[in-house]
Homo-oligomer: A and B are copies of this chain.
Amino acid sequence: MAFGNYIRKLREEKQLLLREVASQMSIDTALLSKIERGTRIARKEQVEDLAEALNESENELLKLWMADKIVKMIKDESNSTEILKKAEEEIKNLTNKKQ
């Protein structure tokens, strides 16, 4: 499930209004609406604020948010899976080198 849909679901489960959450995040309801609908990408600090406002794990939300950004980036490529595989491979190499 895309990041936006996910946080909308969370918000609705907790029966919070856009304006309540947006206010806690110090942003306009319009902006939060767009984030939930996926027409705007949240900034990292906003994801952190969201975790706070929704009482959810910041790490987990950040993870979904980043995954979402990756998906947006490559979803229209025919070889998106290969791209991810290559990225994974590179990451593995990096972490080995780091040690």
Residues on A close to B: CB < 8 A?
1-2, 59, 63-64, 66-71, 73-75, 77, 79-84, 86-88, 90-91, 94
Taking A66-B77, A79-B63 as contacts, is the C-beta distance between A87 and B90 under 8 angstroms? no
Asked whether, in the complex, the Cβ of B83 is within 8 Å of the Cβ of A63, the reply is: yes
Docked complex Cα distance between A81 and B85 (Å): 11
Structural contact, B71 and A83, CB atoms closer than 8 A: no
Instruction: Find A66's partner among B1, B69, B83 (CB 8 Å cutoff).
Output: B83
Contact A90-B67, Cβ < 8 Å, known A59-B79, A79-B59, A84-B84: yes
Residue of B nearest to A69 (CB): B73
* Known contacts A2-B90, A75-B91, A90-B2; is-contact A83 B70 (Cβ 8 Å): yes
